[in-house]
Amino acid sequence: MILVGEDPASKVYVNNKKKACEYIGINSYEYLLPAETSQEELISLIEKLNNDERVSGILCQLPVPDHIDDQAIINAIAPEKDVDAFHPVNVGKIMTGNFDFVPCTPAGVMELINESGIDVCGKDCVVVGRSNIVGKPMAMLLLHRSGTVTICHSKTRELAEITRKADILVAAVGIPEFIKGDMIKPGAVVIDVGINRIAPKKLVGDVEFEAAEKIAGAITPVPGGVGPMTIAMLMKNTVKAAQINAQK
């Protein structure tokens, strides 16, 4: 785990991942680098870890400082050690369905769907959000399960008309309580990927939970819903990476 700079939220995320590693018996190595670390220094560290047989997975916590190109950092990580599944090789494999790793948040959403006994096949699935980390891979995973998928975002016209048709609604737009209760189909499965701090000790999702809970057939809370699943899927990806690397 590589962390560049002093971002408080990133520190919390890295610490949670470290605890998860300890819990299941994965050795974790932390590299806490100053904010002024150059892109060349960071890539040099990644190349060193790429060649370290003790290391099965490499995670560089995003965002990185502005003077570093995050795509260059993602590209520097060996695809077989890319446990975040952000490398273009792994992204391409998700498109074809022949993948080793899936980005951790969409993977966690699919695990929640599977464990809840929800059948995606033939369902109208709406993903609100188009990021490379969540929205796009989420849509692909639902499509691979034979869902009928619509991708929307904050600029989609008549968004509420689209979301009201969703049997499965995934909110990943990054705007606090953006999805209102009257935007949800009665009985729908609502999965809230958002996590937004609106006060020092208050976190909310992208869904207006109190209103949505009265209408949805199933809904994930924030916090405590998708977040823990994301870390669990990171551990799963790391174990799989270790198995792949052991076969070489």
pLDDT in tens, 88-111: 999 999 999 999 999 999 999 999
**Which secondary structure element, helix H or strand E, spans residue 195, and what is its range?**
none
Please state which architecture CATH assigns to domain 2-81: 3-Layer(aba) Sandwich (3.40)
For the segment 99-127, the average pLDDT, to the nearest whole number, is 96
pLDDT in tens, 20-31: 999 999 999 999
Measuring CA to CA, which residue among 7, 81, 5 is closest to residue 46?
Answer: 81
> Would you call 123 a catalytic residue per the annotation?
no
What whole-number percentage of the chain has pLDDT above 90?
Answer: 90
Q: What pLDDT score does 6 carry?
A: 87
Which pTM value belongs to this model? 0.93
Fold agreement (2-81, 104-227): yes
> Would you call 17 a catalytic residue per the annotation?
yes
Please state which architecture CATH assigns to domain 104-227: 3-Layer(aba) Sandwich (3.40)
b/e sequence 158-181, b meaning 16+ C-beta within 10 Å:
ebeebbeebbbbbbbbbebbbbeb
Catalytic residue among 82, 84, 167, 206: 84
> Would you call 39 a catalytic residue per the annotation?
no
Mean of the per-residue pLDDT values of the chain: 95
b/e sequence 121-142, b meaning 16+ C-beta within 10 Å:
eebbbbbbbbbebbbbbbbbbb
* Boundaries of every domain in the chain: 2-81, 104-227
Phi (first) and psi of residue 83, to 5 degrees: -75, -10
pLDDT in tens, 151-205: 999 899 999 999 999 999 999 999 999 999 999 999 999 999 998 988 888 889 9
